[in-house]
Amino acid sequence: MLLHKLKSITFWGSLIIAGILLTGAFAPFYGWPLAILTLAYLFFTWQKKAINPKQAACYGWLFGLGFFTSAVSWIYISLYTFGGLPLWLAIFISALLISSLALFPAITGYLLNRIFTPNHKLIYLIAFSCLWVLTEWLRSTLLSGFPWALIAYSQTNSPLAGFIPIFGQFGVSWLVCCAAALLCYLLDFKRTQRIIVFCAFLLLFILGLALQQINWTQPSGKAIKISAIQAFVPQQLKWEAAQFKTNLQTYTQMTEQALALNSDLIIWPESAITLPIQYVDDYLSVWNTRLNKTKKTLLLGLPIQTNTETYYNGLISIGVNHGEYKKRHLVPFGEYPFLYPISKYIIQYFHIPMSNFTPGKSQQVLMQFNQTKLANYICYEIAFEKLVLSDFPQANLIINISDDSWFGHSLAAWQQVQIGQFRAIETGRYAIFATNDGITAMSNPKGDFVKTLPRYQKAILTTKAIPMTGKTPIMIMNSRTVLLGIILLLLLGYYWISIKKFFKMLC
């Protein structure tokens, strides 16, 4: 009896460890094979170890617990270090959120073993891949959505990255799950069948590598010399009134350095200025005149106030080009009163600055730098595929400004920049990431970093980006079509099993 309990505890622990190892597939580790290996282990437990759907759900929850505890542990930092919550409450809220996120793999396991059977191996493989993707979609949509650490994002440096411009995030997640199940089946089939499975597994990666050689987009103009300012203003001081002038002086000095480098486009990060435009109108007017004379443009993040009660988390351009962008997908609690009036007390307790923003319109006129159209995103907006793809193929260049100093020395900034790399591959565009304390970087259309800055120091990233034009297949199909295809596959698998059962009854 005791030995049996020890075996059970060891097995449960192995699922948690597998979930933790899955985090290693993502940035900054970039160990993409771990996504396939850990999902293969989870698939094996659902196929071989789960006696019933409830047990499969339990295994999925343990796996999810390990994964989300390690992948999004930075939530605790924002609550405790910067939110000022008592230690016990920060741990409780973090644990509650992580436990809730772990329910999505649990739902996958439950439905997989409730509706399908491991005896129909091909259909079980397809069902596993489809259900995993559908629960990822659910997580990306439910209660404003949390599309963080989707399996597809781990494949930016993998051969499967060749599929990103074709199928997008949900299609690539599906392929990763297929690869994991095929790997598991290599241990389960007879020799002849193993050869077929191995060839199918190998074909996925060969095809992915071949697709990476295709350039879906092409240059549409001259290279633009860009400088992204990483001012490294500590989060504790950023919103202090007494620190405001000092912060402006920092940005002024660093922008002067960027102008000395003859940069055409200069970018400040999210909320570089913490007051609405009308409070810094004189300061911006001086810069506008200066930039017009030198034929330069400055993009900067700041709140935009349209009346006494309406504020937007925004991005404006001054100098040769004028425009504005209002953030469309806001962060719950941090930027708007989600689940009001509960959020009212959270915001008051945290003393969260500028926490009652209004979302911008879903369709906005794209900002421009001369003839180049810019796809602008603030912070984690870059994670929402539908929102990003709505700006293409019109946009020629991606610009993502953010401030991840809310999450300290954690994985959050690396995970976000990897999502940005995914978007660069998906759209076939260069992407510039301008942040307060890192990671400030530029990615090319293949998702490779052209240049990066070290974190936690004042620095200027200066490089050249080429405006790109053209359509990738996912722009034509869009993510909705991919999801419909996945749902159709799932239904076909279900009805095939039902038809076989029906004919068996007749016989």
**Do the Cβ atoms of 327 and 381 come closer than 8 Å?**
yes
Question: What is the distance of C-alpha 247 from the center of its chain?
Answer: 29
Does some domain include residue 1? no
Whether residues 244 and 263 share a domain: the answer is yes
Q: How many domains does the chain have?
A: 2
* Sheet with strand 297-305: strands edge to edge: 323-326, 311-319, 297-305, 265-267, 224-230, 459-465
pLDDT of residue 385: 97
Whether residues 358 and 384 share a domain: the answer is yes
Question: What is the distance of C-alpha 69 from the center of its chain?
Answer: 17
Whether residues 194 and 50 share a domain: the answer is yes
Q: Looking up tokens 């959120």, which residue turns up?
A: 97
Does some domain include residue 421? yes
- How many angstroms separate the Cα of 392 from the Cα of each of 227, 324, 372, 423, 472? 24, 18, 13, 11, 9
Whether residues 195 and 325 share a domain: the answer is no
Phi, psi dihedral angles at 340 (to 5 degrees):
-60, 140
Which of 298, 209, 196 shows the shortest CA–CA distance to 256? 298
pLDDT of residue 193: 85
Phi, psi dihedral angles at 49 (to 5 degrees):
-100, -30
Tokens of residue 355, six digits: 């926490």
Whether residues 325 and 365 share a domain: the answer is yes
Does some domain include residue 61? yes
Does some domain include residue 3? no
**Do the Cβ atoms of 165 and 428 come closer than 8 Å?**
yes
Whether residues 239 and 211 share a domain: the answer is no
Does some domain include residue 158? yes
pLDDT of residue 88: 86
Whether residues 295 and 411 share a domain: the answer is yes
Alpha carbon distance 479, 484 (integer Å): 9
- Cα torsion 130, 133, 134, 140 to 10°: value is -170
pLDDT of residue 486: 93
- How many angstroms separate the Cα of 169 from the Cα of each of 118, 349, 398? 27, 37, 17
Alpha carbon distance 474, 443 (integer Å): 19
Alpha carbon distance 35, 151 (integer Å): 7
Give the pLDDT of the chain (507 residues) as one tens digit per residue: 667 678 788 999 999 999 999 999 999 999 999 999 999 999 999 999 888 999 999 999 999 999 999 999 888 888 778 767 788 888 898 999 999 999 999 999 999 999 999 988 999 999 999 999 999 999 999 988 999 999 999 999 999 999 999 999 999 999 999 999 999 998 877 777 889 999 999 999 999 999 999 999 999 989 999 999 999 998 888 888 889 999 999 999 999 999 999 999 999 999 999 999 999 999 999 999 999 999 999 999 999 988 777 889 999 999 999 999 999 988 876 666 555 555 555 555 555 555 578 899 999 999 999 999 999 999 989 999 999 999 999 999 999 999 988 888 899 999 999 999 999 999 999 999 999 998 999 999 999 999 999 999 999 999 999 999 999 999 999 899 999 999 999 999 888 777 766 566 665
Does some domain include residue 352? yes
Does some domain include residue 16? yes
- CATH no. for residue 308? 3.60.110.10
Angle at 246 between CA 400 and CA 398, to 5 degrees: 10
pLDDT of residue 352: 53
Q: Looking up tokens 């542990």, which residue turns up?
A: 73
**Do the Cβ atoms of 37 and 100 come closer than 8 Å?**
no
Which of 432, 431, 427, 433 shows the shortest CA–CA distance to 469? 427
Which of 388, 386, 387, 371 shows the shortest CA–CA distance to 431? 388
Which of 72, 76, 71 shows the shortest CA–CA distance to 87? 76
Helices and strands (H and E) in the chain: how many: 16, 14
Whether residues 486 and 455 share a domain: the answer is no
Whether residues 284 and 387 share a domain: the answer is yes
pLDDT of residue 84: 72
Catalytic residue list: 270, 327, 379
81: CB partners within 8 A, 6+ apart: 408
Domain interval for residue 176? 8-215+478-506
Region of 240 (left: φ > 0; alpha: ψ -120 to 50; beta: rest) is beta
Tokens of residue 33, six digits: 């094979």
Tokens of residue 260, six digits: 């000395």
Whether residues 27 and 141 share a domain: the answer is yes
Tokens of residue 485, six digits: 């295809």
Does some domain include residue 337? yes
Whether residues 438 and 453 share a domain: the answer is yes
pLDDT of residue 31: 98
**Do the Cβ atoms of 305 and 316 come closer than 8 Å?**
no
Whether residues 202 and 344 share a domain: the answer is no
Angle at 328 between CA 327 and CA 332, to 5 degrees: 90
Alpha carbon distance 228, 268 (integer Å): 6
